[in-house]
Amino acid sequence: MKQLENKIALITGAGSGIGRSTALLFAQEGAKVVVSDISEINGNNVVEEIQKLGGEAFFVKADSSKASDNEVLVNQTIEKYGSLDIAVNNAGIGGPLGVTGEYPLDGWQKVIDINLSGVFYGLRYQIPAMLPKGGSIINIASILGQTGTRFSPAYVAAKHGVVGLTKAAALEYADKKIRINSVGPGYINTPLLTSLDEPTMKALVGLHPIGRLGESEEIAELILWLASSKSSFVTGTYHAADGGYLAQ
């Protein structure tokens, strides 16, 4: 039997990168997948990929930084499939680079709105939908949810916030059969890195003792484990998948 047979899974930021890989893997493991993204083109492309593989999915356009969009996303999931078993709060951006004392105020607000408030809004509406029978929620944090780096104060702050929010919510709902965990990817080959030049990419590779960047499919495998019954005693935890980055 497939690991997510007949489960209903919602994934934000599923149009590319880790979200796309997770959506495809979930579908292969038997889940009905609600693909959500700000990009209609990317989101619908992922739905088509899933359907070509024989899976079931549908697309809902949503801006994770808006509470109302998160509410509509969950409501449409319930209307379509009748329940919600798994949610992956993955949507995120890197944001502008700059030192804290000169960091653009609009850049700070946008990163916090999407990367932190977006996760809270997701939890705010996903949890009530899961209360009848329980479920699993996976919030995508970062290695920078455990450590700092120069020139990305908003991103670091937001991802630290995601880790803390995950722990608080997990404690509140542990006795209600809702497990909530976070994942901390290292630097992954996703569209977020496409704008970097070759020297910068080489520098990023050098930060990982394993000697390479991660692939989104590798992160999807960890998310799958947390979504499945194989991790039934796991909640409130942070799981790094970082090629040794945090071990240094």
Separation CA 91–CA 81 (nearest Å) = 22
Residue 3 falls within a domain, yes or no? no
What is the value of pTM for the model shown?
0.97
The domain that contains 179 carries what CATH number? 3.40.50.720
Annotation says 155 is catalytic: yes
CA dihedral 188, 154, 183, 133 (to 10 degrees): -130
Both tokens assigned to 143: 């290695």
Q: What is the pLDDT along the chain (248 residues), one digit of tens a residue?
A: 899 999 999 999 999 999 999 999 999 999 999 999 999 999 999 999 999 999 999 999 999 999 999 999 999 999 999 999 999 999 999 999 999 999 999 999 999 999 999 999 999 999 999 999 999 999 999 999 999 999 999 999 999 999 999 999 999 999 999 999 999 999 998 876 777 888 989 999 999 999 999 999 999 999 999 999 999 999 999 999 999 999 99
C-alpha span between 232 and 220 (Å, rounded): 18
Range of 218's domain? 8-247
Helix, strand, coil shares of the chain, percent, nearest 5, are: 50, 15, 35
For residues 18 and 215, the answer to whether their CB atoms sit within 8 Å is no
CA 237 – CA 169 distance, rounded (Å): 11
Give me the catalytic one of 81, 121, 125, 155.
155
- What's the token pair of residue 153? 């104060």
Cα Rg for the chain, rounded, in angstroms? 17
Q: What is the pLDDT of residues 51-86, one digit of tens each?
A: 999 999 999 999 999 999 999 999 999 999 999 999
The answer to whether residue 2 sits within a structural domain is: no
Nearest to 77 by CA among 16, 129, 18, 124: 129
End-to-end CA distance of the chain: 40
In a domain, 39, yes or no: yes
Is 51 within the bounds of a domain?
yes
Per the domain annotation, does 1 fall within a domain? no
60 within domain boundaries: yes
- Number of domains the chain is built from: 1
Nearest one of 38, 235, 52, 213 to 134, comparing CA atoms: 235
d(CA 39, CA 56): 19
